[in-house]
Amino acid sequence: MTEPIETVAGQLIARGERIAVAESSTGGLISAAMLALPGASAWYAGGAVLYTRESRKRLLGIRAGDVAGLEPVTEAMAAFFAQRIRQTLGTEWGIAELGIAGPTKSRYGHDPGISVIAVDGPVPLSCTLITGNDDRRANMQAFTDRAITLLSQALSGGPG
């Protein structure tokens, strides 16, 4: 059986399209999964771990006014980040993940184990994943797996 990341790579290669990644609580695992495949440079344009406001500002030029009115850790916020990374790197697709891996609540009061993921491109999709778990590493992997699945769904034309 083909792994989801191999499916994503095949879909992007077949279309002649590229992706850019903006991730937070996955800490680079989405990009690492993509870059683990030989030939990733044909379809992976780059990515950024946007873990702090400072990194968001410096790497993507995101200022407080850009996200005014968007609640933290929401699909709308993730969609904004996906669009911004796609535009910044000039790709057909962008994906963003924001969340709380744990083990403690966020400063906004979100429990650990929540991730919001969005894909921007010809078929925009978003989702919220709640694991109910406070295991940081397990959550990071679950968030990564869900992001790759969501991207594959978008590349296939929508939820399957």
For the chain, give every domain's residue range: 4-155
> Which pTM was predicted?
0.95
**What pLDDT does residue 108 have?**
83
Gap between the Cα atoms of 40 and 64, Å rounded: 33
**DSSP assignments along 124-139, one per residue:** -EEEEEE-----HHHH
Q: What average pLDDT does range 104-115 have in this prediction?
A: 92
User: Does residue 103 have a cis bond before it (omega within 30 degrees)?
Assistant: yes
The per-residue pLDDT for range 113-153, each reduced to its tens digit, is 999 999 999 999 999 999 999 999 999 999 999 999 999 99
- Taking domain 4-155, whether its CATH number is 3.30.56.10 is answered by no
Q: What average pLDDT does range 2-24 have in this prediction?
A: 95
Q: What is each CA distance from 42 to 9, 82, 88, 107, 122, in whole angstroms?
A: 9, 20, 18, 39, 19
Gap between the Cα atoms of 21 and 30, Å rounded: 8
> Torsion over CA of 118, 148, 127 and 46, rounded to 10 degrees?
-20
Query: Among the residues of 24-135, which ranges form H helices?
Result: 29-35, 53-60, 75-89
State the amino acid at position 46 in one-letter form.
G
Q: How confident is the model at residue 8 (pLDDT cuts 50, 70, 90)?
A: very high
**What pLDDT does residue 1 have?**
58
Show the tokens assigned to 39: 């030939």
Helices (H) and strands (E) in the chain, counts: 5, 5
Q: At what angle do helices 136-155 and 4-15 cross, to 10 degrees?
A: 30
**Taking Cα atoms as reference points, which of 156, 160, 158 lies closest to residue 7?**
156
Q: What average pLDDT does range 21-30 have in this prediction?
A: 98
Show the tokens assigned to 104: 């403690």
The per-residue pLDDT for range 35-78, each reduced to its tens digit, is 999 999 999 999 999 999 899 999 989 888 888 889 999 999 99
